[in-house]
Amino acid sequence: MSLPVYEYRCGSCQRRSSRLFKTLAAVVTPACPYCDQRALERLVSRPTLLRGNIVARDDHVLGAADGLAEAIPDMDSGDPRSLARMTRQMSEEMGEDIPGEYEGVLRRMEAGEMPEDEEIDAIEKDTGEEPSYED
């Protein structure tokens, strides 16, 4: 499963940092990893997508992600239907199939049920995917 990486700039120390969240529903403004201040501003940048341990930055991937970047601000991260729709759109744009382990979760999200983080963690553990951050 591909997950977006968000880029931030700290209003206190002006340093840039990137942050991966395991689910879109878990996206919050984190503290700066350099000065620990809560003055981070999310930057508008070309998306970087993680799939397993692979960072995708090539033009094909970034070109496909441009349309997704436009849709993200309109997405309701608390709505499982919206998240499922975005996940399917991302899969289609990236030309990647959704792994079978995630299909059941997506069907339930499309029905309005938000999965628990523990359920996603168990799938990632079973498939060998490891998120970069625990949020």
List of residues 6+ apart from 62 with CB closer than 8 A = 46, 47, 56
**Residue 116: enclosing H or E segment and its boundaries?**
none
What percent of the chain stands above pLDDT 90?
A: 7
Report the range out of 35-44, 59-68, 117-126 with the highest average pLDDT: 35-44
C-alpha 51/C-alpha 95 separation (Å) is 13
Instruction: Provide the whole-model pTM.
Output: 0.44
Task: For residue 10, give both structure tokens.
Answer: 């700290």
Kindly indicate the confidence band of residue 126, based on its pLDDT and cuts at 50, 70 and 90: low
Q: For residue 13, what pLDDT band results from cuts at 50, 70 and 90?
A: very high
Give the type of residue at 63. G
Residue 126 CB contacts under 8 Å (≥ 6 apart), including other chains: 101
* For the chain, domain boundaries: 2-127
